[in-house]
Amino acid sequence: MKISANLGFLFTDRPLPERILAAAELGFSAVELHWPYDTPARDVRAALDRTGLPVLALNTIRGDVSSGENGLSALAGREKEARAAIAQAFAYGRDIGAGSVHVMSGRKGDGADWDVLAANLDYACALAADAGMGVLVEPLNPFDAPDYLLSRLEDAADLLDRVANPALRVMFDIYHLARMGYDLIEAYRTHRAIVGHVQFASVPDRAEPDHGDVDIAQLLAALSREGYEGHFGAEYKPRTGRFDWLDELSSQVGS
């Protein structure tokens, strides 16, 4: 089983290149980033080259975080900013060899609009083609991301139908979907054709995946049996600092 470390939440007590080294030392087989832009891409690439780890994805910037913004790509009247953020993500991603860019939509109260989002995703897909990368969108639950435009898996599927570009896929985040009450196996079966990546954390506290309302090991094994062959992304907020769950999860699910 391939497990990636999301360095937006893990090893945050050290610079990003050192987080990559720490992930490799613990046996993760890939890394994922949130907003790495304060770190020169050459430093990230050097750490990736040293470890041999691939970087699966990074996010577009959220905008004015102090005012609560959570993405720009759906905001009417902000198209120039949104496309600059998308271009920034693909330029950085190309420099570090990233696989995809997660394009963050934004909040309805900030002027989010489905037409704007679709047009900006068209733009993102064009950049993805030039860079040899992919594009991801992710439904975020309303408890963690209040008022986020894209909160339902069904809306993500409709959006992909509308954009109709094979570069665009959905992030299937177990934590977010479980918090919204989805039957996770049925949701995967229904939407497997558009799933680009799977992430996990404990439910409902988003901590280490060794407890909670969802048996993560059992679920990841089931998704593997359903045909998922990609990495499983550990995107959780550590409470203990322990990683014994990593060996336990691998042994339960199998390699």
Write down the pTM of the prediction: 0.96
Active site residue 235: yes
Active site residue 138: yes
Question: Who's near 96: CB < 8 A, 6+ residues apart?
Answer: 36, 41, 44, 45, 48, 55, 58
What's the confidence (pLDDT) of residue 242? 93
What's the confidence (pLDDT) of residue 23? 98
Euclidean distance between CA atoms 86 and 127, whole angstroms:
9
- CATH classification number, 3-253, choose in 3.20.20.150, 3.40.50.150, 1.20.1050.10, 3.90.950.10: 3.20.20.150
Q: Where are the domains of the chain?
A: 3-253
Q: Which of 32, 69, 138, 208 is catalytic?
A: 138
What's the confidence (pLDDT) of residue 248? 83
What's the confidence (pLDDT) of residue 251? 74
What's the confidence (pLDDT) of residue 254? 56
Q: Which of 32, 69, 208, 235 is catalytic?
A: 235
What's the confidence (pLDDT) of residue 253? 67
Q: What is the mean pLDDT of each run of 10 residues along the chain (255 residues)?
A: 96 98 97 98 98 98 97 98 98 98 98 98 98 98 98 98 98 98 98 98 97 96 96 97 89 63
What's the confidence (pLDDT) of residue 250? 77
